[in-house]
Structure 1
């Protein structure tokens, strides 16, 4: 079977725990990794650590270590790259998914402040890719960024992995339903972006109405 970089099981069956490290490092530290399946890979890796008839069996300690290392080192690398010209690189990107992620990351930073934004971004695909270099470009203090990216990185990487492990341990033969479960995880992880897009569309649709009312009031 050909290797599919969009498929979490391809990474895990080919590289095991090393695949977890590589995906998380690239997704959180390199802009080219924005499309990688971080959430579904973590959950699937945890699931494959349980005892059962899985085609691939992974070691839970090794997966947890790889997940934490990839998430933390990746974010810190992205921050470092951002300090050295990441803002220009983000601005020049023509990929619509990255540009949407930049807008969302800027809004999260403005609305929640550094700490909450850095933690929250871990759970939003694409945003967790662009927020780290953006934080570096915006000159967020290194100590502040490091503290909160470690907190968010550990909660996200270890939490999602252990959720997969816990579900796999409690439900026999759950690997039969792996594809539907991954689909649900992807939908849930993308829901914040979908909600934000819907909110912006509604706001955009209401603006012409408000302008028309304002103009009418001035005419009267």
Structure 2
């Protein structure tokens, strides 16, 4: 069994949380900025994208919703929205944000799984909570922006989050020290997402067989 309170979590959690929060808030603000929206809309997109996954996770595991009890989370999202609003659009072109997003995805997946374990969630649901933490904010962003959701595209994204959270849980069950497990899992998730970005990797799509 994994310990219910990973000792490393209080020390490293703020950094994992901030990495995911800032990157996803930026992606939300950019989704609004690229559509020529107002500052208010940028702030809204940044907030729901940044805290969306963590909010759903906390509600499911019975934890206090993190950003309601810590104003720094919402403040960080709003600060990111203002930064996007004030900077030239050319700064955000290209694949740079995708690479930052890959870092945030891996960090948030590991953090979400670790927090779920800290609240006594069994291993398999805890790994799924890591995926929820890393992916739900992006799903909300895509729905609000009118784009095809990330879960409806074949590119490797959710799979990378699942690799990160699942690896963390599995390594912990095998007795690997949890800080080491967290580092290995985050690197594994990031590496898979990076490979998908570099070589355009995608999962095979379902193809219905011919009738008869």
TM-score range, shorter chain: 0.3 to 0.5
Flag the structure with higher helix content.
1
Q: Which of these two proteins has the greater Rg computed from alpha carbons?
A: 1
Normalised by the length of structure 2, the TM-score is 0.37
